[in-house]
Amino acid sequence: MTELINSLKNKEKIRILFVCLGNICRSCAAEEIMRKLVTEAGMTDEIQLDSAGLINYHEGELADVRMRAHAERRGYHITHLSRPVRYNDFFDFDWIVGMDDSNICKLKAMAPGLSEEKKVVRMTDFCRMKVVDHVPDPYYGGDSGFENVLDILEDACTGLLEQLCAVR
Per DSSP (E only), the strands in the chain are 14-20, 47-53, 95-98, 120-122
Tell me which of 20, 28, 127, 157 is the catalytic residue.
Answer: 20
d(CA 71, CA 42): 22
- Tell me if residue 20 is catalytic: yes
Catalytic residue among 50, 100, 137, 155: 137
Catalytic pick among 25, 26, 50, 64:
26
Our CA angle for 75, 16, 31, nearest 5°, is: 20
Q: Give catalytic status of residue 165 as yes or no.
A: no
Whether the CB-CB separation of 97 and 157 falls below 8 Å is answered with: no
Looking at residue 10, the DSSP 8-state letter turns out to be T
Helix-helix angle 65-73:26-40, to 10 degrees: 30
Q: Check if 26 is active-site.
A: yes
121 SS3 class: strand
15 CB-near residues (< 8 Å, 6+ apart)? 47, 48, 49, 50, 92, 93, 94, 95
Query: With the C-alpha atoms ordered 105, 113, 98, 80, is the resulting torsion angle positive or negative?
Result: negative
Active-site residue list? 20, 26, 137
